[in-house]
Structure 1
Amino acid sequence: MNRTGPHGPDDVVVLSEVRRAYGTERARTVALDGVSVVFRRGTFTAVMGPSGSGKTTLLQCAAGLDRPTSGTVTLDGLDLSGLGERALTKLRRDRIGFIFQAFNLLPALTVEDNVTLPLRLAGRTPAHGAVAHALERVGLADRARHRPGELSGGQQQRVAIARALITDPAVIFGDEPTGALDTRTALEVLRLLRSAVRDGGQTAIVVTHDPVAASHADRVVFLADGLVVDELHGAGADTIAERMTHLGAWGDLPDAGSRSLKGAL
């Protein structure tokens, strides 16, 4: 595993001129069209854009779930393009936490067993007290022996957060993690993610369509037509929503491609 050198130690995820195309030459779809963006340690970033803008593809490439057609992705100092599938799987288990809209908990396992699953798949035993600490962080210390079907949707998502935190990952990726939750429960989950970033030093990257959810992030990165076209820092929900309504027009500007955040690299 070769480590890359141009970026600083706090640049946890770096996409450089990443392009991802699908299909044949005659029928080709370009999901990402030369995206360059940096996600730094201890930051919470929301990724937003209209349907088909490339949000999910960006997340998958950044997490090593999909390989770019061209360009490079560096995660925690490692160039993912040089890793085989076995090494990528190990990296995802050791250095990445995932939170999904559908929770993805195993119904036959207890809360405790769901949380420890990433470690067990990696052949590791949880450190003494690690599971209890993870569940305490998400407010579920008294639910370790329950099964997912005995929990509310918000509680199940908190189990998923504990599962994402148990390996002490460098990065937590979320794909619409509050999409299936009511507003109040979604806010609780977002506060937990903020806490993980603030107290644990993790980097959180979350795809969302919800301006309220995005307003809890330090930064919002906007995609349109496979390009990063803008970003906001510390913005409120109204400002984020207003920017979303103009993404189509913004993406049509002649210099849209030059706003791919190369200045952040």
Structure 2
Amino acid sequence: MNRHIQAGEIVRLESVRKTYGESGGRVDALAGVTIGFRKGSLNAIMGPSGSGKSTFLHCAAGLDRPTSGSIEFEGRDLTKLNEVELTKLRRDRIGFIFQAFNLLPALDVTQNVTLPLRLAGRRADPARVREIISRVGLAERSGHRPAELSGGQQQRVAIARALVTDPAVIFADEPTGALDTRTAMEVLSLLRESVERDQQTVVMVTHDPVAASYADRVVFLADGQLVDEMHRPSADQVAQRLTRLGAWDDKRPASPVGGGY
């Protein structure tokens, strides 16, 4: 295990920098980010457009390589893995949920949910699959294709698909962005349940203060840097903090940033 990782952390970014462009046109999407995420926690990543949220998520999940720094996942440095090793780790230990549901239209609910297992050459346990589909409220729709489902139901399929491999971490990019308020609350409750019931770790990028209020910890990014964090905040507290991010560089963060939770 790397000396940087802290007790209880399952993912840790250490001095992570991601630079795009050359010479005079270079831009730091991430500017030396250090932070850890503990097992069994729901974490929200917030910040204005262009703050580096998506780059942060892609680097943390091993979808993109940082320019410098290290990213530890269960004690392994992702920056030292080759593409085959990264692909296997993402397939076996990481779940993904996106704003676009990314379901295959020709497959029904059960087939979409079990797709990651089939791609990994693993046999799906029918009882386990039924249990997960039932948990997301789709037991009566397991034979339906995406076109026969509402947006909220399609996102539930995506959550079940992320859960079926029993991943160590679920990375979610605006998972409620395309949903109405009531359906979004149902989806967030499912993510909260996966944290509390299965000790899953969820790292979720969101722009919605209400979605962030479901998190144990909300981390704020601005200009590629961590500038503040809040623990178990209300939606109003998150919204108020977001309005002040424009002037973050004139102030010190209100609380220490970078440790695990």
Normalization by structure 1: what TM-score? 0.95
1:166-181 matches, cutoff 5 A: 166-181=164-179
Q: Quick check: 2:229–2:255 contact (8 Å CA) kept in 1?
A: no
SS of aligned partner of 1:126: coil
**More divergent stretch after superposition (168-177 vs 243-252):** 243-252
Partner of 2:189: 191
Partner of 2:257: 261
Quick check: 1:156 aligned with 2:154?
Answer: yes
Quick check: 1:51 aligned with 2:72?
Answer: no
Q: Quick check: 2:38–2:260 contact (8 Å CA) kept in 1?
A: no
Residues 94-124 of structure 1: per-residue CA shift (max 9 Å, x gap): 0000001011000110100000011111111
Q: Distance in 2 between matches of 1:164 and 1:43?
A: 16
From the superposition, tell whether residues 6 and 130 of structure 1 become closer, same or farther in structure 2 (CA, over 3 Å): same
Partner of 1:114: 112
Q: Quick check: 2:229–2:256 contact (8 Å CA) kept in 1?
A: no
**More divergent stretch after superposition (138-147 vs 180-189):** 138-147
Q: Which runs of 5+ in 1 are unaligned?
A: none
Partner of 1:69: 67
Quick check: 1:251 aligned with 2:249?
Answer: yes
Residues 110-165 of structure 1: per-residue CA shift (max 9 Å, x gap): 10000001111111111241210110110111111110110111000000000000
Q: Which runs of 5+ in 2 are unaligned?
A: none
SS of aligned partner of 2:15: strand
SS of aligned partner of 1:129: helix
1:8 to partner: Cα distance: 4.0
Quick check: 1:7 aligned with 2:8?
Answer: no
1:6-45 matches, cutoff 5 A: 6-8=4-6, 10-45=8-43
1:251 to partner: Cα distance: 2.9
Q: Distance in 1 between matches of 2:65 and 2:259?
A: 24
Q: Distance in 2 between matches of 1:72 and 1:84?
A: 14
Residues 201-254 of structure 1: per-residue CA shift (max 9 Å, x gap): 10000000000010011110000011000000011001100000001111343x
Q: Distance in 2 between matches of 1:216 and 1:260?
A: 21
* Paired residues, number: 261
Q: Quick check: 1:44–1:217 contact (8 Å CA) kept in 2?
A: yes
Partner of 1:182: 180
Normalization by structure 2: what TM-score? 0.96
SS of aligned partner of 1:37: strand
Q: Quick check: 2:4–2:14 contact (8 Å CA) kept in 1?
A: no
1:16 to partner: Cα distance: 0.4
Quick check: 1:103 aligned with 2:101?
Answer: yes
Q: Quick check: 2:9–2:260 contact (8 Å CA) kept in 1?
A: no
Amino acid at match of 1:261: V
Moved over 3 A (4+): 262-265
**Partner of residue 130 from structure 1, selected from 111, 128, 136:** 128
**More divergent stretch after superposition (137-146 vs 33-42):** 137-146
Q: Distance in 1 between matches of 2:107 and 2:256?
A: 44
Q: Distance in 2 between matches of 1:236 and 1:170?
A: 27
1:263 to partner: Cα distance: 4.8
Q: Distance in 2 between matches of 1:263 and 1:185?
A: 32
Amino acid at match of 1:246: R
Q: Distance in 1 between matches of 2:141 and 2:188?
A: 20
Q: Quick check: 1:31–1:54 contact (8 Å CA) kept in 2?
A: yes
Q: Distance in 2 between matches of 1:6 and 1:24?
A: 30
Q: Distance in 1 between matches of 2:21 and 2:255?
A: 27
Q: Note the aligned Cα RMSD (angstroms).
A: 1.6
Q: Distance in 1 between matches of 2:109 and 2:32?
A: 41
Q: Distance in 1 between matches of 2:29 and 2:255?
A: 17
